[in-house]
Structure 1
Amino acid sequence: MELHGIHVPLITPFEADGTLAVEALAGLARQALADGAAGLVALGTTAEVATLDEAERHTVVEVCAKAAAEYGATLTVGTGGNDTRRTVEALAGLAGVADAALVTVPAFTRPGEAGALAHFEQLAAGSPVPLIVYHIPYRTGQALSAAALRRIGALPNVAGVKYAAGGIDQETVALLADLPPEFAVMAGDDPFLAPLLALGATGGILASAHLATARFVEFAEGRGSRELGHRLAQLSIAAFAEPNPTVIKGVLHAQGRIPTPDVRLPLLPAGRESVAAALTVLAELTG
């Protein structure tokens, strides 16, 4: 598969009684795609996936799959963990459901680069869908060098990496300067979209693209100015002023797009000041 453009990792909206707000989720999915997103990501970190039960996860994927099919868009489903066997089993369940799987580097275990490579070798060999490696060391505790990501990226059935290393350093430059064939880098740290695109990334998987999807698409397609890149970065910074996705949910609720700004513990709703600040940046960007 070819990874490009903006993919929106959807939040999971909740009703006042704590149940899934299914219609609101469907609306968010369709609006993102109508505004030009190339794909959706279901059950990512932004979806508060750790707090969803099995039935809720099934519903989320079903809603997102329907919207993606309507628009001919890519559906990626987040799965995996630090148990290779269970991740293989989870991937098997995506056959006929998703176009790709977003799989984190094994978290907490810290298996080292050789262990991470062996993990992805088994996953790629058994997965019915292409893998997108989710490289986010400040959450997983496991940093991978450019050389290690290059070896993983050269595996059959690995389509790319969601790159969220917490910044741009020499390893970032080294990776993008020498990519394996048909292996794409997608920006995963929202404020760094512009420099990653300049270095050769083909798009981004960005939570803050919920809030200004069309402007992110415009920029990723090369139709935006450097000024737009800076303004999108400011929106991303505002959206991540408190733990993701609390500010995003606060903004979407203020816009009337979801019924509540509620999140599930251990997250707490974003403060009014953070939501107001994000709304101000968004108004300046889209007004």
Structure 2
Amino acid sequence: MRVVVGGGTGFVGTALTQLLRSRGHEVTHVSRYAGKDRISWDELSCSGLPRCDAAVNLAGENVLNPLRRWDYAFQREVVTSRVETTKTLAKAIAEAEQPPRAWVLVTGVGYYRPSLTTEYTEDSSGGDFDFFSRLVHTWELAAKIPGNITREVVVRSGVVLGKNGGAISQMLWPFRLGLGGPIGSGVQPFPWIHVQDLAGIVSHALETEGVRGVLNGVSPASPNTSNADFARALGSALGRPALLPLPTVVVRAVFGAERGIMLLEGQRVVPKRTLECGYHFTFPDLPVALRDIVS
């Protein structure tokens, strides 16, 4: 299978590329600059989609970059890096002489409204209550292709955990020094997934003809994991205490009130359709996932 991956040079893209190539698939990345096994977004816009069997978009500016102030300019970057790249790939697919058989977009569980009690499956409503939910809604609409020329799948990802990036990369040193702990109250749900499972779900969606529509990219244990549970499990995996909470006021000061919601609130998301479509998680439990990451 030939697969074109937008934004495939980042943390998740690297894991997906390694998995796809290990299964014998060819991968071409779409990034800012052309190079070996990659084309630029400008080339894609001008010359169209290279001949391929499937396409994936993982592109998106890091929302929780603590070095960027949450102002209008950065918000536009966050939106453009997701929505416009998706539109570009969707347009290229629609105009291709031989459209790919499958088209997968990875978005986020920010589509669902934060709640301590409500459980969300892929059929639950959302996408209309704050900046991030509306972003996901617009992002997913941008992926729509007229007619049935290709099979479309959306994977709504939780917090991605892995060795070489993602949320863990910013947490390890404080936890290793015994300075880690829950964020805010710690009672908020913590929807998480190991990067190998997120890559696995995307690969499963590409390879399995019957899979289409929305899949929740979270671990089966995710609905019962709070932020405090995660902090304790990470501390345990490192052999360190996890007793020092990061105060709400500090989170809001660093990230801003609107962006801070992503850390201070959460959703109980269930991968119902993901399991029903036959995907088997490599890391369904948090302690095992964290031991793999910190080993």
Tell me, yes or no, whether TM beats 0.5: no
Larger of the two Rg values belongs to structure: 2
TM-score, normalised to structure 2, is 0.31
Task: Give the structure with the higher percent helix.
Answer: 1
